[in-house]
Structure 1
């Protein structure tokens, strides 16, 4: 694929990521913010109970509250802060996914641009988020043990890296098996291998048993995790659709231009 075409796809991928980020922000704000607010309320209630149990006076409690006052207010965090984070995340991943699309187009089967974009988005959602989420699900802010946040972050990114590498290995193995088994059987065999090795990794990697404090409401935790999953699903679904349309237009335009140049350079019939 020509460098200028890849560059055009990269720009379209970032644009599609921006559009997807807008949809993801809407879901995060409507569905994700209520459980976040609930988790913060639980934390504040536990802190107040601990202060009361320890016998602190009202003046000491007020002083502690002033010391722990947030540098950025909660309304700003839940609007501008959330929007900025989700949009930057969407643009960055959109660009990376566009590069993956440029590599995958024509190499993973006889799929057109829209189908390849959909497959790229589905593969990215599965390897970058879903598989790591199943092993190390999302945790509401201010709920986990602060002493283990470094360990939990390392394990989560390790799971992302492992999942992506296993996904790439599955694609390569599937392509090599296709001439002998056929595309359908090769795909099933590669997918089965991916699931088996991933399951082994789930068993061998340590669990995050201390990721959530004891006594945290299970229903609120489940609501937060479903919201996190919904945000990612919407992000990648919208990206797959929008980028597929944009990529189709780019590639169709380049093909038409190439055909026009070839026709102009061809000798006229005698």
Structure 2
């Protein structure tokens, strides 16, 4: 059963990754092009005659094609991990139906792994960010992901302990999730490396496109994985012939 779920997660994760890649290509790449144009114009002002394109190892057409490779590989990895976690959760927590559990798990993963870090450290286009601080920024981002996962585990444990009713259970779970998350948002240091004069509209178009790409991926994957699980659960089991 675990192997079946793993194969299902890998294949559907790849498909969802390609769907998300299409969204990113349509809504995110124009912002990247604009940000690179701003970066090249700024570099030209500081160093006349400097050609940003000469330094790029991979041109923009290659980068755009590689976008689908990146989102596809991302979908493969996430789909495999999700399938293993789903196999551990199945029959233990969450909705009783396989499809409902898949949707609930995908939505929870989006909130814990994507939305929690995004609120504190939203994505920035290529022209924004100091290369010398990439390690510290990456570490802070990973910390927020761990906080989101830990808060999710605390919320699930809290919900299982509360027996007063569904409203009390959900309220306690939401509170248990928000307390560590808000504490992390408050205590972790801010990162603000947006240069003066960078267009705010372009910045938030890129950020929303980045968040939208993740939302499309998790929505598509959750629906596809849930549909496949429900379909498999309704399939009649054929008894083995004797002898």
TM-score normalised according to structure 1 size: 0.84
Aligned twin of 1:256:
237
Between Structure 1 and Structure 2, which shows a larger proportion of helix residues? Answer: 1
RMSD (CA atoms): 1.8
For residues 166-245 of structure 1, the aligned pairs below 5 Å read: 166-177=151-162, 180-210=163-193, 212-245=194-227
Distance 1:124 1:67, change over 3 A: closer
- Offset of 1:174 from its aligned partner? 1.1
Give secondary structure in 1 for the equivalent of 2:64: helix
- Offset of 1:172 from its aligned partner? 1.5
Distance in 1, matches of 2:176 and 2:7, equals 35
Aligned twin of 1:76:
62
The higher radius of gyration belongs to 1
Give secondary structure in 2 for the equivalent of 1:215: coil
- Offset of 1:256 from its aligned partner? 2.1
Gaps of 5+ in 1: 53-60, 266-270
Distance in 1, matches of 2:8 and 2:94, equals 22
Question: Is contact 2:13-2:221 (8 Å) kept?
Answer: yes
Q: Residues 161-199 of structure 1: CA distance to partner in whole angstroms, max 9, x if unpaired?
A: 11111111211221122xx32344212211112112211
Question: Is contact 1:6-1:99 (8 Å) kept?
Answer: yes
Moved more, 120-129 or 67-76: 67-76
Counterpart check, 1:32 vs 2:28: yes
Question: Is contact 1:21-1:87 (8 Å) kept?
Answer: yes
Distance in 2, matches of 1:91 and 1:66, equals 33
Moved more, 92-101 or 115-124: 92-101
* Number of residue-to-residue matches in the alignment: 242
- Offset of 1:66 from its aligned partner? 7.6
Question: Is contact 1:114-1:248 (8 Å) kept?
Answer: yes
**Paired residue for 2:147, among 137, 158, 162?**
162
